[in-house]
Amino acid sequence: MKASPTTASVPVKRSMSVRAWIANYGVYVALALLVVINAIITPHFLTVANLRLQLIQTAPVLIVALGMAMVIGTKGIDLSVGSVMALSAAIMPLYIGYGTVPAILVGIAAGGLSGLMIGALVSYFGIQPIVATLAVLIGGRGLANVIGGEIKNLSDPGLAVLGSGSLLGIPYSVLSAVILVLVAAFLMRRTTFGVMVEAIGGNKKAAELAGIRIKSVLVSVYVLSGLLAAFAGVLVAARSSASDPRTLGLLMELSAIAAVVIGGTSLAGGKVRILGTVGGALLMQLIVSTLVSHNIPDSVSQMVQAIVIVVAVALQVGRRKA
């Protein structure tokens, strides 16, 4: 019998190794643990007000992370998201005169345009995603500052509602995050788009030979990321009723990447875990707020975040090699 070592493999039992299990579900376990710990040691943790606050603060990062997860699924990266947030928040005030909704739409559209440009550069020109999105990160924030200039007060009632209002007790920002999570999960699990994204990240050549149009999928994924980032920018601006392009969304790309990676989606592309991303975003948020509510200084908080990221990835990378 001719056998080629590279392709023959014996059927493997379905039981997962401990390591694989940790990599897949660790984030939820950690999350649960953290909730329990907080319930014990943090006063007022399990109050509606606090939980509400946690969710409100997670919402923007989560929304951005959804787009980031899809981009990473194609083996790409999007460093521009923070600047896109700032850009959309800077553009909004200019159109607020036309009404709340038009202004929001224009802001979001700006993100979509940025994504379109990036997607075209990556798929048609073959520019590396890190370089293309880096350029937008640098230029986009500058542009936002040029347009925005300084802190602008947004005293639009419609925006105020979006930022601080709620529907049946659930803040609109959280509601939109939930809806977007459901949409993203649906996209990835139940549509051809989701299969294509994961196929491109998993084995681009195979996807190409199966007749998948790589270029249009890539463009779409960056457009989506841009749209989501822009929407997150709108939310942040609405909540604080102000738009400061200098700081809005600063370092957001790092938080988003962290959430995605901790949630189990690998930087090497392939499987996109939407639920995991939610877990990752919540986990990072909880870690930060736990430290804050116990008056642990910002410095320690950042160092802890750094360690969590490395550990989370280390666990996954081990799994990949096995």
Partner 1 sequence: MTDTSQQGPAQPHEEAALALAARGLNKSFSGVHVLHDVDFSLRPGTIHTVVGENGAGKSTLIKSLTGVYQTETGCIELAGSEVRFNHPSQAQDAGISTVYQEVNLVPLLSVARNIFLGREPRGRLGLIDVRALNRKAAEVVQDLGIDVDVTAELGALGLGVQQMIALARAVTTEARVVIMDEPTSSLERREVEVLFSVARRLRDQGVGIVFISHRLDELWELCDEVTILRDGRVVHTGPMHELDRRSLISAMLGRDITEHGVTSFTDTDVSETTAEVVLEAKDLSAPGRLQSVDVSVRAGEIVGLAGLLGSGRSETVKAIYGGLDTSSGQITVKGGPVRRGSVPAALRAGIALLSEDRKAEGIVPELSVRDNIILGILPRVSNAGVLSNRRIDELVDRWIHRLGIKVSSSRQLISELSGGNQQKVLIARWLCTEPSVFLLDEPTRGIDVGAKQEVQALIDELAEKGMAVVLISSETEELVAGSDSILVLRDGEVSEILTDDQVDNSRLLSALVDGGQR
Partner 2 sequence: MSTTSTTEAGLADAGRRTRVEKLARLTQRNGALVILLCLIVVSAFAFPTFASAGNLSQIALQAAFLAPLALGLTFVIFTGGIDLSVGSVFALGGVLAAWASQYGFLAALLVPLIVCTFIGLVQGAIVAFTSIPSFIVTLAGLLFARGLLLALTEEGSETYKVPADSAFLELSRGSFLGLGFPVWIVIVLFAIGVLVLHRTSYGSTLLAIGGQPDAARLMGLPVLRSTLIVFAVSGTMAGLAGALTASYTASGVTTLGVGLELTAIAAVVLGGTLLTGGAGTVVGSLVGVVLLQVVANLINRMGLTNSNWQAVVNGAVLLVVAVAQVLLSRVQAQERQRRRGGEADAPKPT
Q: Name the residues that contact partner 1, by CB under 8 A.
A: 1-12, 14, 190-193, 195-196, 198-199, 201-203, 205-213, 270-271
Which of partner 1, partner 2, none is residue 207 near (CB under 5 to 8 Å by kind)? partner 1
Q: How far apart are the C-alpha atoms of 80 and 179, rounded to whole Å?
A: 23
135 touches partner 2 by CB under 8 A: yes
Cβ proximity to partner 2: between 18 and 322 the closer is 322
Residue from 29, 32, 37, 138 touching partner 2 (CB under 8 A): that is 138
Cβ proximity to partner 1: between 12 and 49 the closer is 12
Residue from 68, 137, 197, 259 touching partner 2 (CB under 8 A): that is 137
- Closest to 53 (Cα-Cα) out of 75, 38, 73, 68: 38
Residues comprising the chain, all counted = 322
Of 154-213, binders to partner 2 (CB under 8 A) are none
- Closest to 304 (Cα-Cα) out of 252, 263, 258: 258
Which of partner 1, partner 2, none is residue 241 near (CB under 5 to 8 Å by kind)? none
Which of partner 2, partner 1, none is residue 205 near (CB under 5 to 8 Å by kind)? partner 1
Cβ atoms of 90 and 144 closer than 8 Å: yes
Cβ proximity to partner 2: between 167 and 292 the closer is 292
Of 9-38, binders to partner 2 (CB under 8 A) are none
Which is it for strands 170-171 and 166-167: parallel, antiparallel or unpaired?
antiparallel
Chain position carrying tokens 């997150």: 232
First to last CA, the chain: 27
Q: What are phi and psi of 171, to 5 degrees?
A: -60, 145
Minimum distance of partner 1 from residue 295's CB (angstroms): 43
Q: How far apart are the C-alpha atoms of 274 and 62, rounded to whole Å?
A: 10
Number of chain residues interacting with partner 2 (CB under 8 A): 49
| Residue type present at position 222 | Y
Cβ proximity to partner 2: between 162 and 284 the closer is 284
Which of partner 2, partner 1, none is residue 216 near (CB under 5 to 8 Å by kind)? none
Residue from 213, 215, 294, 320 touching partner 2 (CB under 8 A): that is 320
Residue from 43, 125, 157, 168 touching partner 2 (CB under 8 A): that is 125
Cβ proximity to partner 1: between 156 and 198 the closer is 198
Q: How far apart are the C-alpha atoms of 249 and 236, rounded to whole Å?
A: 8
Cβ atoms of 113 and 91 closer than 8 Å: no
Cβ proximity to partner 1: between 147 and 317 the closer is 317
Cβ proximity to partner 1: between 133 and 220 the closer is 220
- DSSP letters for 231-289: HHHHHHHHHHTEE-TTTTTTTHHHHHHHHHHHTT--TT-S---HHHHHHHHHHHHHHHH
Cα 250 from chain centroid?
14
| Residue type present at position 148 | G
Q: Which residues bind partner 2 (CB under 8 A)?
A: 4, 77, 79, 121, 125-128, 130-132, 134-146, 250-251, 254, 257-258, 261, 267, 297-307, 309-310, 313-314, 317, 320-321
